[in-house]
Amino acid sequence: MKNIDKSIVILRNFVSRFLALDAPDFEKLLANFEIDEFKRKELIVENGKVADRMYFLSEGFVRFYHFKPDGSEVTSDFYFAPGFITSFTSFILQKPSIVNIQCLEQMSVLSISHKKLIELYDNYPKIERLGRLLSEQAFIASEKHLLSFLNDSPQDRYLWLCKEYPEYIKNIPLQYLASYLGVTPETLSRIRSRTL
Amino acid sequence: MKNIDKSIVILRNFVSRFLALDAPDFEKLLANFEIDEFKRKELIVENGKVADRMYFLSEGFVRFYHFKPDGSEVTSDFYFAPGFITSFTSFILQKPSIVNIQCLEQMSVLSISHKKLIELYDNYPKIERLGRLLSEQAFIASEKHLLSFLNDSPQDRYLWLCKEYPEYIKNIPLQYLASYLGVTPETLSRIRSRTL
DNA sequence: AAAAACACTTGACGATAATCAAGAAAAACA
DNA sequence: TGTTTTTCTTGATTATCGTCAAGTGTTTTT
């Protein structure tokens, strides 16, 4: 089974979590996707450029990061397959992206252009519904992320990550994790030694 | 001009920012709205109950808050008219809400039930498109909120609020603002005295 | 394999904010 | 209007985290 076929199966499964797309509609959707290969550390979306594609991550995981005015790097999110990713703000507004999205391992990724997606929205109400449902889910995830910041200490959030994604934590450099948790690498190192 | 008429004009204007709804479609939308009066400090959405209505705020402003496991209250957001508000997570999933939404002044508010909105989505693709666009905007706002946390100090965020919404800041009790900024009331008081 | 670059840990110190506590100012109420 | 309650300010103390710096361990490069 080829890479792209595996990805398509995962995409079909993912979509079916949200709504029942009949075969012709799914084919219409699929016909507009391309497959791309990304290497470890390569950027899927780059700061300063318009994110003109929506990506479907069927495997692997990515890191969202950006630079503060003072030049320091901030990891704002990790995303684990499967799911759609891009710089949504850039994609929706078609304005230059603030964030970078970086692959944390080699992976093949499906993607569709903004133009093609808008055409699909115009012609296939079911696909527009999928867009609405995915946007709603993206909002829910974002709100959850925000609440975890407001409610939980860096230590709580670290322990949660360890429990939820143990296989990934091992592969994420501590400095990225620290930034994601909103502390310095030194502080995270101390959290680790405390909670061993 | 009656209160409800003013609200409808504001709603029509607001919707037209996102897409052109022709008169019959707008009438279909409007036919499903009710108008409610809320007093200062009254709750529009209550923790523990399912948010089964979407509200359109044509005037005034509201506070989002919830309680941490330790019992302390956290103000997670303020929202200023015009716009649609509800506990989106609760509304979308039709599960009990974590957050409370509290009116900060007396106001009349339009609202539509979850059931009616879903019916409109099923029957009017343009209204479903409006739903998609509003969800996208809600996501963008949420991401912006998250980034302001990651990038800016409480002092920066306070000064930004003062610049952006000076007329409201005056009316928001300091303790709510402090919690929103993620600091204690004492610290915000000191920020204020520093930056006068 | 040696050298260099990078990632992580640990300690000392200083900055910042939380906590505790008291009092002043403002708002709500009788 | 005077009283009570709530909100805000200010000071002293404590705890936490960031910064700086040194040193260890690990990976990458030549």
- Which residues in chain B land under pLDDT 70? 1
Bridge partners, residue A43, by sequence? A102
Cβ-Cβ contacts under 8 Å, B151 against chain A:
68-69, 74
CB-nearest to B140 from A92, A132, A151 is A92
Contact B77, B146 (CB under 8 A): no
Q: B66: Cβ under 7 Å from strand D? A: no
Beta strand A61-67 pairing with A73-80: antiparallel
Structure tokens at B103: 């009116």
Contact residues, chain B to chain A, C-beta under 8 Å: 66, 68-69, 74, 76, 88-89, 92-93, 98, 121, 125, 128-129, 131-132, 135-136, 138-140, 142-147, 149-151, 182
The chain B residue lying nearest A90, using CA atoms, is B140
The pLDDT assigned to A3 comes to: 78
Angle subtended by helix axes A3-16 and A23-30, to nearest 10: 130
pTM over 0.85: yes
The pLDDT assigned to A104 comes to: 86
The pLDDT assigned to B1 comes to: 64
Structure tokens at B15: 């919707």
Determine the 3-state secondary structure of A153 from DSSP. coil
Q: What is the DSSP letter of A50?
A: B
Contact residues, chain A to chain B, C-beta under 8 Å: 66, 68-69, 74, 76, 88-89, 92-93, 98, 121, 125, 128-129, 131-132, 135-136, 138-140, 142-147, 149-151, 182
The pLDDT assigned to A1 comes to: 64
Fold (topology level) of B3-126: Jelly Rolls (2.60.120)
Q: What is the DSSP letter of A39?
A: -
Determine the 3-state secondary structure of A194 from DSSP. helix
Domain extent listing, chain B:
3-126
- Which residues in chain A land under pLDDT 50? none
Taking the C-alpha atoms of residue B131 and residue B122, their distance in angstroms, rounded to an integer, is 12
Q: Shortest CA–C1' contact from B186: which nucleotide? A: D9
Contact B64, B75 (CB under 8 A): yes
Architecture of domain A3-124: Sandwich (2.60)
